[in-house]
Amino acid sequence: MIGFHHEKIEVARSGESLDPVALKWRDKEYKITQIKKVWQDAAFAGPASGRGRSRSWWDQHGRTFYRVAVDSGQTLDIYFDPRKEEWYLSKSWNLPTEET
């Protein structure tokens, strides 16, 4: 079963690569056992308040998504929002990690 979320989470990152290595969600800590996929979402807000102004490519704030397996056996989609400088949980699967 897939769960859809938009919940803020805490993420610990490795020093050199800055990839996530652990996360805290709903007061429970999870160790990331595998990064399955990484992708960018370069979408950004359109014209500001209908004034006809759009953001230039250098002002876009894309999100970096990670599909990770955690030590509980779940697969999670998490992302970093650079505008807010916060991490969020997007989706969760209650499946064994080999199946996703």
Residue 36's Cβ-side half-sphere holds a number of Cα atoms within 13 Å equal to 13
Domain boundaries, given as residue ranges, for the chain: 2-42+62-99
Average pLDDT per 10 consecutive residues for the chain, totaling 100 residues: 89 89 96 96 54 54 91 95 92 63
What is residue 50's three-state secondary structure? helix
* Strand segments (E) across 1-100: 2-13, 20-25, 28-41, 63-70, 75-81, 86-93
The predicted pLDDT at position 55 comes to: 57
Could you tell me the pTM of the whole model? 0.74
Strand partners, 3: 92
Give the integer Cα–Cα distance in Å for 62 and 58. Answer: 11
Among the listed residues 32, 28, 24, 29, the one whose alpha carbon sits nearest the alpha carbon of residue 8 = 24
